[in-house]
Chain A
Amino acid sequence: MLKLVLRGFLQRKLRVLLTGIAIALGVALMAGTYVLTDTINRSFAGIFQVANKGHDVVITPTQTLGRQTRSQTSPITEQMLAQVRATAGVAEAAGAIFTPASFLDLHGKRLTTGGAPGFVASEVPKRFESFVPVSGRFPTSASEVAIDQATAEREHLRLRERIVVAGSAQARQYTITGILKFGGGQSFGGASAAILTPVEAQRVVGEPGRYDQIDVAAKPGVTPGELRDRIRAQLPSAVDVRTGAQQAAKESSDLESNLSFLRTFLLIFAYVSLVVGAFIIFNTFSITVAQRTREFGLLRTLGASRAQIMRAVVIESLLLGLLGSGIGLLGGIALAPGLDQLFKSFGADLPDNGTVLETRTIVVSLLVGVFVTVAAGLAPALRATRVPPLAAMREGVEIPPRVLSGVGVLARALLVVLVFAAIALLTGSGAIGVIGFIVLSGYVTFLLVRLMRGGVPGRHPVVRALARGVGVLVRWRGITGRLAQENSIRQPGRTMITAASLTVGIALVAFVAVLADGTKATIDQAVSRSFAGDLIIENSSVNSEAGIPAILAPAVRRVPGVASVTPVAFTVGRLRGSSSNSTITAIEPASFGRVYRVEWAHGSNATLQQLGATGTIVTKAYASSHHLKVGQTLSVLTPTGQHVSLTVRGIASDNARLLGDLTIDLSLARSAFGQRDDALDFVTYARGVSNAQVQPIVNRGLAAYFPQARSRTAAQFKADQANQINTLLTLIYVLLALSVIVSLFGIVNTLILSIYERTRELGMLRAIGTSRRQIRQMIRYESIITALIGGVFGLVIGVVGSVLVTTFALSGSGYVQSFPIGTLVILLFVAALAGLLAAQLPARRAARLNVLGALASE
């Protein structure tokens, strides 16, 4: 039996290859994701090890609100440093600065690429220093800087040239005195570093007399653990004390958790492709089982048991799964650098030193690939067992179909839900939930397809109607169009499944496109409604967390024509008894109401004036989910570890999402939340002054003193937001394209199998004078019809799904429904193009058929 399977396998090389690729592409993205993320993690682990070399003990601010958050004001002071130095067993201790900042050339062009951050660091004693000069030396005066080699090479910077460093203070020019190499031959992870003298570094980052961390070396004979415990006993809880090894491990694990979203994000697309692949495998196996009805009948007549037939088909899918996953795994390893490039081109520069292939990658890729293939081939295998022995004797015996009831569909869907819920619970992984959702939607689509037959096989009124509708496009081409249309509904079930594989991809694209368009419209409307000012000043970096110095607002106030400037800052806090952080917006109550229209549920602009150090405004959604009323007092834990009491003074809704869960006075944010920088400055002009009179002056000032900032009018701001959404959208499109490519192979496969079934018909057509061109045309049209059926379905599911989701999930949030008609039309063209592309090989094969051979075929 196994021999038979193997022989059949080898005889159908093309089909095996095409079907294998359907699985291979999804597996490749999965393997590539693992390889890429493992490589990034490993690279960073290496960087952190080097960075912590020579550090026996490291003292850092405690992250009271979780590892993602850090107070902008460090609790580490000169006095604390002195205390550490005085501790027995300390050989040397030094304070260090390591804070994100902006680097620019003298023309205002940023010296960092994409999303990779720039860091201002202070020089530390040699035993702690992870940078080594390649040329020049470390800075010795406040006007000198040393920069990392990668940045110097990329930006063609040489010694004695000058660069601008902009942090929380007014930007300054520095002369390059040294080009530095990060220790151990490691790259610095795509990030840039500018090393200043300690005092100058403190000044630039706005923390005179404070440090981001203290590096400690132990005296001989004192272990890092002992020293850590001694220091711990002396210092307040506002700081964490770790050994160097612990610190490196913590930094690695912080980074991994920061990057885990990337893995999940990419894996989702891999699973989408795998679901599409499953459709194709199911379809291919269904067709081949039907085509081999006689063969199975013969085997049954010769005494093969049902179990043996089942085994034969399952082994075939197992082999196919192994082959596909194997190819996919190899492809994934090759793909990983490509994914890295993809993210680079979208502004996320991630380091990858070499390629890391974990055993887990191999095991998971092969397992998932084989599992999907076998699972998809199971139903056709079951069908094969129902072939009666009689089928060997007669032609045209069909396998008795099973009628599916609505209850049956529900039961199956429920089973899938339960399986995934169980896995999700057991592994505690949210990603499994997402994957389950995708698989489930695929499965539901499939069941819907079956239900659309009205339970009766072979009817498919929807597919027929669609084929007829879409067919109009090719009918005018005469007989080839007519035949293509008829052929496409000859086996409506097959056409539907083939189309459904494309539906998955198109539906997701349409869903995302509609959602994005709505989001853009929502932002647009919200900004128009809420923002009453003339200019918004923000950091020009793509890194959305980068802020602007607090000293910027007073500086802009002095520009002629500017009536008012009101700064806004963002921070976080945690309600007592809560395990998650609440977002907090800090405002200047006196001027905020003039530039921003707050939609009050309780309170008025007068409420703003009463905020003071103890008042807060909460959003309507937050109030209802936390059962808050005006007058209630909350206890909030701040990033600096303090507890502050806040009384709810007002409740507001805010579609522009500027207001966080809580809104507080900016001066409270500075004093109790350690908030140093601002996020935005809202500028209003004096009466009768035009934008052309003011914005150029503001821009000149920014360029000279705060080159990291830029000014935006409301229109520019909206366009920026739209651009950001578009960038993300493009990335998602690129990744979803993979699933469309997978479905392409499905169409190719189905066409080839259909052509094989219609060999004699094609022979007859050729004999009575149909030209090769006409045959090719016919196949192409059929393919386009199939693809368009999938496209129309996908469009409908995507648009309706998006409308449903936004209506239910975003009700009352001010979401504005908007439809990107152009994109949706293009999507249909893409579907048709996919059909055309998929038809190339089958059409050529059909046209090349030998007329006599085809006529003689069974």
Chain B
Amino acid sequence: MALPEAEAPSGKIVEAHDLCRRYGEGEAAVDALAGVTVDFPAGRFTAIMGPSGSGKSTLMHILAGLDRPTSGTVSIAGVQLTDLSDRELTQLRRDRVGFIFQTFNLLPVLNAEENILLPLSIAGRDPDREWFERLIDTVGIRDRLTHRPAEMSGGQQQRVAVARALVSRPSVVFADEPSGNLDSKSSNDVLELLRHAVDDFGQTVVMVTHDAHAASFADRLLLLADGQIVHDGDAVTAEQALDLMKSVG
């Protein structure tokens, strides 16, 4: 399947319309998402916050094509995800989406370089060496390239994971609690990196977090509660974010 190279005409990389996601059936049914309409313009860093069970993870999974909504539509770079088969979705994730996980999820059997290049290897594409060199300098793991994950600290591992997410120049990077497993120093490093990717590479980043400090690195803050967006505004400080969180309980 050839994906259109161009971005959506609107300049919006990810668009979601009236997303609902229901788990279970009948009386036991739970609405994780109850009508979410949102879009993410190119080159912006968005943080999605919300208390546990607010639906923020579900939203990210659906936006990233890992889960399907019960109703509503999602498009990434102009491609409607809801119409895609599993095979097409896989290919879309491979070519258009980057992922950063809380638990790094590097392959223990590959070294740092191989882990970074993994998405390209899977796609069977040759890496853009220049871009790769720039990336590893940006994330600062040049001297760790031949090390395996077990020989690296958590911060280093997550920086490798960031490089892996960026290496294929995806339309959007989804980060799921990227600093959740890190100490404060490493956590800051990784968040700075994401900020840097947005500012210098024009990368679009969507980050789910429950950490107000992490959210303060973003341009835009979305707040979810009970499966609905309750706040959508510009970036705030960590304190303001914390207050906002408290207000939705």
Contact = CB atoms under 8 A, between A and B. Distances in A.
Contacts of A851: 66
B126 to A, nearest CB: 11
A737 B123 CA distance: 40
A393 interface: no
Interface string B186-207: 0000000000000000000000
B99 A767 contact: yes
A490 B103 CA distance: 20
A772 B90 CA distance: 9
A769 B109 contact: no
Contacts of B95: 769
A770 interface: yes
Contacts of A478: 121, 124
Contacts of A768: 93-94, 98-99, 118-119, 122, 164
A766 B107 contact: no
Nearest to A763: B105
Contact of A760 (B98, B103, B109): B103
Contacts of B124: 478-479
A770 B90 contact: yes
Sort chain B's interface into a size bin.
Answer: 20 to 34
Contacts of A482: 110, 114, 121
Interface in A498-545: none
Contacts of B107: 483, 486, 761, 764-765
Given A486-B109, A761-B105, A852-B66, A769 B91 contact: yes
A767 B87 contact: no
Contacts of A760: 103, 105
A846 to B, nearest CB: 14
A487 B109 contact: yes
B93 A769 contact: yes
Interface in A738-788: 760-761, 763-772, 774
A490 B94 CA distance: 26
Contact of A855 (B94, B98, B101, B110): B101
B61 interface: yes
B81 to A, nearest CB: 14
A767 B165 CA distance: 11
B105 A771 contact: no
A11 B161 CA distance: 36
Given A483-B109, A486-B109, A769 B66 contact: no
Interface in B125-149: none
A769 B124 CA distance: 11
B151 interface: no
A852 B110 contact: no
Interface in B61-87: 61, 64, 66-67, 86-87
Contacts of A855: 66, 101, 105
Nearest to A851: B66
Nearest to A769: B94
Which of B86, B90, B164 has the most chain A CB atoms closer than 10 A to its own CB?
Answer: B90
Interface string B144-173: 000000000000000000001000000000
Contact of A771 (B91, B101, B121, B164): B91
Contacts of A486: 107, 109-110
Contact of A767 (B93, B110, B123): B93
Nearest to A489: B109
A483 B118 CA distance: 10
A770 B61 contact: no
Which of A486, A767, A851 has the most chain B CB atoms closer than 10 A to its own CB?
Answer: A767
A770 B105 contact: no
A427 B95 CA distance: 71
B90 A766 contact: yes
A476 to B, nearest CB: 12
Nearest to B95: A769
Contacts of B118: 479, 768
Interface string A828-857: 000000000000000000000001100100
A483 B114 CA distance: 10
B123 A769 contact: yes
Nearest to B164: A768
B99 A771 contact: no
B121 A479 contact: yes
Nearest to B123: A769
Contact of B122 (A487, A761, A769): A769
Nearest to B92: A769
A765 B90 CA distance: 10
Which of A479, A760, A852, A855 has the most chain B CB atoms closer than 10 A to its own CB?
Answer: A479
Nearest to B110: A486
A490 B149 CA distance: 14
Contacts of B101: 764, 855
Nearest to A485: B109
Contacts of B99: 764, 767-768
Contacts of A479: 118, 121-122, 124
Contacts of A770: 90, 94, 122
Contacts of B164: 768
Which of A763, A769, A852 has the most chain B CB atoms closer than 10 A to its own CB?
Answer: A769
Given A487-B109, A764-B101, A772-B90, A852 B119 contact: no
A485 to B, nearest CB: 9
Contacts of B97: 769
Nearest to A771: B90
A772 B88 CA distance: 11
A771 B87 contact: yes
B194 to A, nearest CB: 17
A852 B67 contact: yes
Contact of B86 (A761, A763, A765, A772): A772
Contacts of B121: 478-479, 482
Nearest to A761: B107
A852 to B, nearest CB: 6
A161 B124 CA distance: 77
Interface string A689-723: 00000000000000000000000000000000000
Contacts of A761: 105, 107-108
A478 B124 CA distance: 7
Contacts of A487: 109
A525 to B, nearest CB: 52
A761 B86 CA distance: 19
A148 B99 CA distance: 82
Nearest to A487: B109
Contacts of A771: 87, 90-91, 94
Interface string A456-495: 0000000000000000000000110011001100100000
B34 to A, nearest CB: 19
A486 B150 CA distance: 15
Contacts of B61: 852
Contacts of B109: 483, 486-487, 490
Nearest to B96: A769
Contacts of A763: 105
A761 B93 CA distance: 16
A482 B113 CA distance: 14
Nearest to A479: B121
A765 B118 CA distance: 9
A320 B103 CA distance: 37
Nearest to B121: A479
B64 to A, nearest CB: 8
Interface in A432-458: none
Interface in B46-68: 61, 64, 66-67
Which of A760, A764, A774, A852 has the most chain B CB atoms closer than 10 A to its own CB?
Answer: A764
B122 A765 contact: yes
A641 B110 CA distance: 80
B93 to A, nearest CB: 5
Given A490-B108, A768-B164, A769-B94, 12 more contacts: A478-B121, A483-B109, A486-B110, A761-B105, A761-B107, A761-B108, A765-B122, A768-B98, A769-B93, A769-B119, A771-B91, A855-B101
6 contacts: A478-B124, A490-B108, A768-B98, A769-B93, A770-B94, A770-B122
The 4 closest A-B pairs by CB, nearest first: A769-B94, A486-B109, A479-B121, A764-B105
